Amino acid sequence: MGLAVWGMDEAGPYQAIPQPGLCWQPRTCPARHPHEHVRHGTAKLLTLLHPSTGTVRVKGVRNCPNAVLHAWLKQQLLTILAGLPPAPVLEENDILASWERWQEGLTRKLTLPVDLPPLRLLLIMDNLAGHKTRVFVEWLIAHGVLPLYTPLSGSWLNMTESVQRIIVHRALDGTAPTSPQDIMQWLEETAHSWNADPTPFVWGGRRHARRQRAHQRHHPLGGSGACTTRPIRRRPVALTYAGTRAK
């Protein structure tokens, strides 16, 4: 409907200790890790994902209270909104309908103010209490941003988690960070490299189509969700001359 869609998520914490995974090392010179298990602190990753282009906006932080998260989100959202096309001029009823359309079917709807700005951006977020504070939600609505929360146990609906796994594995696998600053720097540098050639994210895709074709080639069984790769022969039932089953 001409709206920008962004997803937001927090990843971590990641400990500044030797990380498992492969690393680039000469065969005759393997990576050496310290023999002492010393914890040097933790770091977290704040991420905004634009699924249609695959670009990300990240920031490494030591901790993530609402004061840190909301300040970073407001700054990034203002930059994103400034780069969007101008909002169309609509009647008040049309503006209200565009906001309410995205809340249809929700058990708990946001209380919209009387003076609504045009809806310009959808923000997908996890269902956490910190994302629903009144001051933060009112700021989002005042700037034309509608927060949509994933249901409980449904964080996989937020594509941001997928790109976070990619960035974290590329940045930390096989490394031995000695401080949270190392982790934050490597995560941000990896995200910067990702943005040089981002990959768009879409629901389904070729893998989903292959799974559907494979499922259509199977034969479902009654009474359960199981299926077979070939049809099962039905045992014929012999009938007597009276139409009853033969014993």
The answer as to whether 151 is a domain residue is yes
Q: Which residues, 6+ apart, have CB-to-CB distance to 103 below 8 Å?
A: 109, 110
Q: Which residues, 6+ apart, have CB-to-CB distance to 99 below 8 Å?
A: 112, 116, 119, 146
- Sort 82 into a burial class: Cβ within 10 Å, 0-12 / 13-18 / 19+: exposed
The answer as to whether 221 is a domain residue is no
Q: pLDDT grade, residue 223 (50/70/90)?
A: low
Average pLDDT for 120-135: 83
pLDDT of residue 205: 63
The answer as to whether 184 is a domain residue is yes
Q: pLDDT grade, residue 211 (50/70/90)?
A: confident
The answer as to whether 239 is a domain residue is no
The answer as to whether 243 is a domain residue is no
pLDDT of residue 41: 83
The answer as to whether 208 is a domain residue is no
* Whether pLDDT at 192 is above 90: yes
The answer as to whether 203 is a domain residue is no
pLDDT in tens, 130-179: 777 888 888 988 888 888 888 776 666 778 888 888 888 888 887 878 88
pLDDT of residue 104: 77
239: tokens are 């009938």
| Of 172, 173, 192, 191, residue with least CA distance to 182 | 172
3-state secondary structure of 165: helix
* Whether pLDDT at 219 is above 60: yes
**Contact (Cβ atoms closer than 8 angstroms) between residue 41 and residue 59:** no
Least confident of 39-48, 130-139, 230-239: 230-239
pLDDT of residue 181: 92
* Whether pLDDT at 48 is above 80: yes
pLDDT of residue 79: 92
Q: How many domains does the chain have?
A: 1
More confident residue, 14 or 89: 14
pLDDT of residue 185: 92
- Sort 191 into a burial class: Cβ within 10 Å, 0-12 / 13-18 / 19+: buried
State residue 112 phi and psi, 5-degree precision.
Answer: -85, 140
The answer as to whether 86 is a domain residue is yes
- Residue 70: give its domain's CATH number: 3.30.420.10
Q: How many residues does the chain have?
A: 247
- Mean of pLDDT over the chain: 80
pLDDT of residue 190: 92
Q: pLDDT grade, residue 66 (50/70/90)?
A: confident
Q: Which residues, 6+ apart, have CB-to-CB distance to 246 below 8 Å?
A: 238, 239, 240
State residue 149 phi and psi, 5-degree precision.
Answer: -100, 135
Structural domain of 64 = 4-196
> What is the spatial distance between Cα 28 and Cα 32, in angstroms, rounded to a whole number?
12
